[in-house]
Structure 1
Amino acid sequence: MDVPFLLSKAQMRRIEPFFPLSHGIPRVDDRRVVSGIVYVIKHGLMWRDAPKGYGPHKTIYNRFIRWSRLGVFNRIFAELAGKAGEPDRIMIDATHLKAHRTAASLFKRGALPRRIGRTKGGLNSKLHAVRDGEGRPIMMLLTEGQMSDHKGALLLFPSLPRAKELLADKGYDSDWFREALIDQGITPCIPPRSNRKVQHPYDAQLYKQRHKIENVFGRIKDWRRVATRYDRCAHTFMSAISIAATMCYWL
């Protein structure tokens, strides 16, 4: 089979338990089709431009859409990340993802939220993420581009692991967030804003480790269908992000 990329058998053994059961006619080879999905997302191709070795592009596209609706790719990421155990140190940050015109064309239509918002940079989405001490993503949340870092942190807070320390930039410097972390036994390492009346102390040496979360965003954005959002539906775009994070860090 002439394909430019193929998941290894070891990688397939780790993700196969999360695939839906096949009913009736056996499915087309999972390894070939999932490899085709990964290749298209990484290189930012249109589905019809997928290499012929992966089979009909309609099969690849339909499998991606169907499993995205079932939450298969999000579940794979969550389960593999969860097997790493509770981290002692976590980091939180957010980044903007530009929405292509094909994704923004249905901006105000449809019953389900698109998670596309308007900022000075145009239409975009925002990815909020929590990383462990090694810089590996363990939680991700997709919101509209105009949502503040604080609101994203509020949505993620109930699911934060019980770590000893949390690193974040000045965008997360607020009394409620600091107090909530301390109540959970988490020591915040957040530089205070310059206009604060009370300048909270923080470990400047430890804060230097925060570059790891920026490295993660850069690595995930190397996947072209993540750096630029082509998917109209939020669940399909979130599946693309989950696939990129899983392939980069957990497989």
Structure 2
Amino acid sequence: MGDLVLLSEAQMRRIEPYFPLSHGIPRVDDRRIVSGIIFVIRNGLRWCDAPASYGPHKTIYNRFIRWSRLGVFNRIFEALAAKGGRSDQLMIDATHLKAHRTAASLFKKGMFPRRIGRTKGGLNSKLHAVCDDRGRPRVMLLSEGQMSDYKGAALILPVLPKTKVLLGDKGYDADWLRQALAKRRIATCIPSKANRKVQIPHDAALYRRRHKIEIMFGRLKDWRRIHTSYDRCAHTFMSAICINVS
């Protein structure tokens, strides 16, 4: 297949247990089709532009949409993230992902949510993430672009893995969040906002390690169909994100 993406047999063994069972006629080779999905998302292609080596482009598109609705890619990410083990340091942050006009159209209609909101930068979505000390995502949440960082943290808090310290930027400087983490015996390394009357000290040397989550976001946006969302439904866009980090 030349320089085209093709998952290795070892990679397939890790994710195959989470594929749906095939009923009736055997489906087209999973390795080829999943590799084609990755190639399209990484390079920002239209589905009809997928190389013929991966098989029919309709099969690639239909497999991606059907498995996205079934939550297959989300389960793969959750399973692989759970195998990462416990980390003494976790990092939380959020980033904006621009929505293309084709994704933003009709965002109030349809069965599935769009997770597209309006900010000063236009229409976009927001990805909230928690990473371990190696920059590996452990929890991810997709929301409308206008959702604040600490509101996203409130939704993530119930599923936050056990850890000793949580690193975050000033957007997470909220008393309720510090108190909620303290109840779970999690220390915080979060700089105080400028308008806080009594500044709360933090470990500056430890805080510098937070760059790993920024690197993760940067690598995520290297994939063109993630940097700019062309998907109208949030479940397909989130599936693309899960494929990247898995």
Question: In terms of mean alpha carbon deviation, does 106-115 or 41-50 score higher?
Answer: 106-115
Question: RMSD of the TM alignment (CA)?
Answer: 0.9
Structure-to-structure mapping, 1:15-30, within 5 angstroms: 15-30=15-30
User: Which residue pairs with 2:225 in the alignment?
Assistant: 225
TM-aligned CA deviation for residue 84 of structure 1:
1.1
TM-aligned CA deviation for residue 25 of structure 1:
0.5
User: Which residue pairs with 2:62 in the alignment?
Assistant: 62
Q: Deviations over 1:134-174 (max 9, x none)?
A: 11111100000000001100000000011000000000001
Question: In terms of mean alpha carbon deviation, does 107-116 or 144-153 score higher?
Answer: 107-116
- Count of residue pairs the alignment pairs up: 246
Q: Deviations over 1:76-113 (max 9, x none)?
A: 01100100112111000000000001101112212432
User: Which residue pairs with 1:47 in the alignment?
Assistant: 47
Contact 1:3–1:51 (Cα < 8 Å) also in 2:
no
CA distance in 2, matches of 1:120, 1:5: 37
Contact 1:94–1:149 (Cα < 8 Å) also in 2:
yes
User: Which residue pairs with 2:234 in the alignment?
Assistant: 234
Equivalent position amino acid for 1:127 in 2: L
Contact 1:167–1:207 (Cα < 8 Å) also in 2:
yes
Normalised by the size of structure 1, how large is the TM-score? 0.96
TM-aligned CA deviation for residue 3 of structure 1:
6.7
User: Which residue pairs with 1:172 in the alignment?
Assistant: 172
Report the 3-state secondary structure (helix = DSSP H, G, I; strand = E; otherwise coil) of the residue aligned with 1:130: strand
In the alignment, structure 1 residue 11 sits paired with structure 2 residue 11: yes
Structure-to-structure mapping, 1:69-108, within 5 angstroms: 69-108=69-108
Q: Matched residues, percent identical?
A: 72
Normalised by the size of structure 2, how large is the TM-score? 0.98
Report the 3-state secondary structure (helix = DSSP H, G, I; strand = E; otherwise coil) of the residue aligned with 2:11: helix
User: Which residue pairs with 1:159 in the alignment?
Assistant: 159
Equivalent position amino acid for 2:21 in 1: L
User: Which residue pairs with 1:193 in the alignment?
Assistant: 193
Flag the 1:3–1:194 CA change in 2: closer, same or farther, 3 A: closer
CA distance in 2, matches of 1:182, 1:77: 28
In the alignment, structure 1 residue 150 sits paired with structure 2 residue 150: yes
Report the 3-state secondary structure (helix = DSSP H, G, I; strand = E; otherwise coil) of the residue aligned with 1:78: helix
User: Which residue pairs with 1:129 in the alignment?
Assistant: 129
In the alignment, structure 1 residue 182 sits paired with structure 2 residue 182: yes
CA distance in 1, matches of 2:195, 2:64: 48
Report the 3-state secondary structure (helix = DSSP H, G, I; strand = E; otherwise coil) of the residue aligned with 2:15: helix
Q: Deviations over 1:117-144 (max 9, x none)?
A: 0000000000000000111111100000
CA distance in 2, matches of 1:159, 1:240: 22
Equivalent position amino acid for 2:106 in 1: L
Unaligned runs of 5+ in 2: none
User: Which residue pairs with 1:249 in the alignment?
Assistant: none
Unaligned runs of 5+ in 1: 247-251
